[in-house]
Chain A
């Protein structure tokens, strides 16, 4: 039987442990929260299925594509069209091309972001090169598609959606470590 002081300490320590765990739990919770609300223009990082819904031909939405290279990866990401006009509900395919300009094989990843952030809730990516890491041999060029659909319930005041892809290197040993240490953060991105 614990005395009252021990009981207080025991309870405090329980709260303590719970809050420490909560801090780590916030990492996946935040991801979920972002996907639901579209904070930060985070996009679902898994493929979604195409929903066949009637195309809303009464309005056009301009979709822009921007590709950027981060530091440390001598790659180029090209997009065949910088801008397309689509109807909500209409499935669209756009080709992107990765080129490794260096003399050695490298792994990289294109990290997606969408603006305005609330639009990410209405963006359904059926297939995207950004779901996976890419590995390119020296000088290799790979074409990869993005298949997406803007849902019909896209708010009326959104008439431009900008998708940005930033290239980042994936270090070999880092990639392995991520798989081990932080499945919640690094692994699924």
Chain B
């Protein structure tokens, strides 16, 4: 949708030179550049901070993944074989917390840091020093969270949804540290979101109107609004927990006149928008990749923007569909059932738009495109199970079973995670100046697709057949499904080593990429050289909007 600029044009305003090793010398910078670790600790450059976010999230993806594999190893066969139930609960909890707050969210923030300034023609984020601070909060938060595993009584063991009173009165002593780490991570997300909003609203290239922005920018803008609106609610909930645990209040304790169900209302008021925080940027990524490799403009740009916005608005009105079995009154159950079903409409519009973009395109299947296409198919399957879960009477059977586990892993793994991988393959040439290995990328893709489906598809069946989630051992009729799931999980987990290999190889060398690395790519980031120099768009680019 945005016009491409000829490469020489962008070279004019790029006054920096980059060497292959990534060491960058800036002619304009009069301050001495700190070296070594200090450079990374003090950097205010959006590209370097973006890289920090992405590397951090990749490390956390592996840590969270190891926790998941511990869980799957225990569930490989019936019986308590490897770990005790107490540690099992800590593993499921930590897996969820790390994947949500330390892997998926920072990965999207990292992509936003790297790409939003490049896509809107801005020299950097609006608040570079704040940007540095919000990143460095994350290692602090999650080192603290991981350290709770070594504390007496162990780490959090109450599930990533930490329902009171299991997470308050009955929680291990380390819970106070869990709350503190979540507070720090929350501050980091909020600061990141404010920065993104400030950047998008104020730093677009002259002539770029809101409706000219690439969809990744749009979806992130909406995501950032969601973050600013709901992270404080999470902060409020965990503050109440902290007070219940340490200061004798009774927000969630029936004994003192509180109500455990209130916790769930507050948590899911944050939690459901949070779910969309993890998927809206993915919509943006897929909306960039599919047109590139179909060599055809995205179908229904405006309707994509409106659909994203309506999903965001609806996300505030559906929270209690997580709570159909807590004993809501009939009227409330009906209300939340209807609003939840309604979400299928804008989501459907998005899928139809992507497919229509493919229709009569000129399609090739590079690795980013493969991941994006797998996203469309598998995310849609997750959407179908989501629709089934929305039907309240049936949800009484599905709730808290592996059917739910299957559903949200379909939207989060081949959904959010695949979109992040697609983005990495798509933008690696811009980041490193080299194309990622096509052969290794395809191995990574196919093994991941097979692994993901082997892992999560059988969970639909074990859930429907009656297997509750979060149990360390199960009845014998679920054994076959769990065996397959565990095998799939190990396949998926170990395939990710190929991903790391691809990235390292790509950073170190490979086929050189031109400024416009993909011939169908249209957005502004493809007008700067590959690899993108440390400073770009110091003079605003010449942006000519596409006529709608």
Contacts and interface: CB of A to CB of B under 8 A. Distances in A.
Direct A/B contact, Cβ within 8 angstroms: yes
Chain A's interface size range is 35 or more
B363 to A, nearest CB: 40
A170 B328 CA distance: 28
A16 B228 contact: yes
A27 B201 CA distance: 34
Interface string B232-266: 11011100100100011111001111110110011
A129 B326 CA distance: 27
B116 interface: no
Contact of A40 (B235, B327, B331): B327
B202 A26 contact: no
A37 B331 CA distance: 9
A30 B230 CA distance: 17
A109 interface: yes
Contacts of B247: 177, 181
Contact of A13 (B194, B243, B265, B327): B194
A24 to B, nearest CB: 6
Given A30-B262, A173-B248, A19 B229 contact: yes
Contacts of A185: 249-251, 256-258
B244 to A, nearest CB: 9
Interface in A92-110: 109
B233 A19 contact: yes
A1 interface: no
Given A37-B329, A117-B329, A181-B243, A27 B251 contact: yes
A62 interface: no
B290 to A, nearest CB: 31
A177 B190 CA distance: 32
Nearest to B320: A39
Given A40-B259, A177-B248, A181-B247, A168 B266 contact: no
A186 interface: yes
Given A16-B190, A26-B265, A26-B266, A186 B327 contact: no
A42 B259 contact: yes
Which of A17, A24, A169, A186 has most chain B Cβ within 10 Å? A186
Contacts of A12: 193-194, 197-198, 228
Given A109-B255, A178-B249, A186-B251, 10 more contacts: A4-B202, A8-B201, A16-B232, A23-B266, A27-B240, A27-B251, A41-B327, A182-B249, A186-B249, A188-B257
Interface of A: 4-5, 8-9, 12-13, 15-17, 19-20, 22-24, 26-27, 30, 34, 37-42, 45, 70, 109, 111, 117-118, 166, 168-171, 173-174, 177-178, 181-182, 185-189
